[in-house]
Amino acid sequence: VQLQASGGGLVQPGGSLRLSCAVSGLPLENHAVGWYRQAPGQEREGVACISSGDGDPFFVGSVKGRFTISRDNAKNTVYLQMSSLKPEDTAVYYCAADGLRDVGACTVIGTQWYEYWGQGTLVTVSS
C-alpha cells in the first residue's frame, strides 16, 4: 500500500489550497482516509477524515467550515480542500489510510486508527 500526498505550497492568509492523497493497493471506497498535520515543534494532530462507503466526513473544530474533504473512487484519491487559510494552518500535512475494511464512521482523534501513511506535503500560510 502506498500513499502519495501532494498539493502543498505557499499561500497567503485567506487563500485556498487543495491537497491530494493518491492511494495504491487499497480501494478507498472500502477504507477510511484521514488527514493529519504537524507544525514545527508540535505534535501531529488530526484534521479531517472521510469514511468508507458513503464517505461521511469528520472535521476537527479548528478547520470546520473552512476545509472540505472528498473522494474520487475512480482515481482512488482523496482531496482536502482548504479555504480561508490562516498562518496557524502552516504544517506538514499527512494522509493516512485505515487498513481495516468498511469500519463505518471515521475519526482523526488519535493516530491509532490508521495503518498506512504518506510522506507529507508542506503547507505554508504567510504573507
Question: From CA 97, how far away is CA 125, in angstroms rounded?
Answer: 26
Q: What single DSSP character describes residue 37? A: E
**Residue carrying C-alpha cell 485567506:** 14
Q: What is the pLDDT of residues 11-54, one digit of tens each?
A: 999 999 999 999 999 999 999 999 999 999 999 999 999 999 99
Question: Is the pLDDT at 96 greater than 90, yes or no?
Answer: yes
pLDDT at 104: 85
Question: From CA 48, how far away is CA 24, in angstroms rounded?
Answer: 20
Question: Is the pLDDT at 106 greater than 90, yes or no?
Answer: yes
Percent of the chain with pLDDT over 70: 100
